[in-house]
Amino acid sequence: MPQKTIKIHAEQDYIELQNLLKVAGIIDTGGYAKVFLIENEVYVNGERETRRGRKLYRKDVVKVNKTELVVE
């Protein structure tokens, strides 16, 4: 499974799932995140996630479409 690291800025404690998906190039807009999360299986730390506003912190792992995203 390909792994990609997504870094958040030092002044931020978290990144929302929809923004992580945008930064990773998986979706083009935040508005599409809701539909994407319904149509695709996305897991955060091994649990299915459908909330686009889910806050992700350092060391969280997101799995989507055979890609693993690690928040740093």
DSSP state at residue 8 = P
Look at residue 61 in the predicted model and tell me its pLDDT.
Answer: 97
Look at residue 41 in the predicted model and tell me its pLDDT.
Answer: 95
Look at residue 72 in the predicted model and tell me its pLDDT.
Answer: 92
Count: domains in the chain: 1
DSSP state at residue 20 = H
What CATH number should be reported for the domain holding residue 23? 3.10.290.10
Written as tens digits, the pLDDT of the chain (72 aa) is 778 888 887 788 999 999 999 999 999 988 899 999 999 999 999 999 999 999 999 999 999 988 999 999
* CA 22 to chain CA centroid, nearest Å: 8
Look at residue 39 in the predicted model and tell me its pLDDT.
Answer: 96
Domain of residue 62, residue span: 3-71
